Amino acid sequence: MKEIHFYFDFISPYAWLAFKALPQSLEGISHRVHYHPVVFGAMLKHHGQLGPAEMPGKRDWTYRQVMWLAKQQGTDLQMPASHPFNSLSLLRLAVAASDNGEPNRYVVESIFKHVWCTGLEASDAERLEALQLHLRSQAHLSLKDPHSVEVKQLLQQQTQQAIDLGLFGVLIFKVMRGLKVPIGWMLANCQWVFGEHLPPNNCRASTIRQLGSFGIRLRLSFPAVDQQRIGPSDGQKHQH
């Protein structure tokens, strides 16, 4: 059985796309997925980096790319009214809906949809309260106080764990065979992560793994998409 650790922040549209693609990519594979909310801003700070949405040129390219990817994948993706936004409350809510900091797929999907399927403000206080009430109403969930010291510590621990593992962004998969030997890391398409089972376009998984060893540049062309209403200002930073 493969143990798959999915590190993500709800602020990332790539995390939402990968989350939706994961079930199909894992068809026919014995697996268990562990969902780890982490604070992307803290990881960026640790590595001395800016997020893609904090650089005007890269931000525009990122938004255009994810809209194209969503269309290709057949996944609903509507840019929130403001991006980047402070996702800390959403991350704490996800952690609060678990016993050990690892929420189940239902919780993760509910929060991702709150962000990426409405076109509304993801951090709006009234919407956050409604989302929390929805999760609290689920009989199979036991919701802690998202503002509790326990929840904050669990989120900090998972973020630090990701940093200690050398992770530098979201999303990232850590794939394990059994519980011992890591067999692959990839910040990319789900089919690449599990390429040894689902090699894209008949490309051998061994070849895919070798790409990271060479300075390969790809020129990509994306179709135009409708201009989205984006905010706040370019200079706003991620939460830390």
Whole-number pLDDT of residue 159: 92
Q: Give 33's Cβ-side CA count (13 Å radius).
A: 20
Q: Residue 44 has what pLDDT? A: 81
191-197, Cβ contacts within 8 angstroms, sequence gap of 24 or more: 191/21, 191/25, 193/25, 194/25, 194/26, 194/29, 197/28, 197/29
Residue 238: closest CA among 87, 38, 58: 87
Identify the CATH class of 2-213: alpha beta
Q: For residue 139, what pLDDT is reported?
A: 78
Looking at residue 136, its pLDDT comes to: 93
Per-residue pLDDT in tens (0 to 9) along the chain, 240 residues = 788 888 899 999 989 998 998 888 788 888 889 999 999 888 888 777 777 777 777 888 888 888 998 998 899 999 999 999 999 999 999 999 998 999 999 999 999 999 999 999 999 999 999 999 999 999 788 899 999 999 999 999 999 988 888 776 555 555 544 333 233 333 344 444 444 433 334 333 343 333 333 333 333 333 333 333 333 333 344 444
Q: Which of 46, 38, 9 has its CA nearest to residue 156?
A: 38
Residues 6+ apart with CB under 8 A from 10: 16, 37, 87, 90, 91, 94, 111, 112, 115, 122
Phi, psi for residue 206 in degrees, rounded to 5: -65, -35
CA distance 21 to 192: 12
Q: Any idea which residue has 């790809």 for tokens? A: 218
Are 170 and 15 a contacting pair, CB within 8 Å? yes
Q: What is the β-pairing status of strands 31-37 and 181-186?
A: unpaired
Contact 33, 158 (CB under 8 A): no
Query: CA 38, CA 239: separation in Å to the nearest integer?
Result: 12
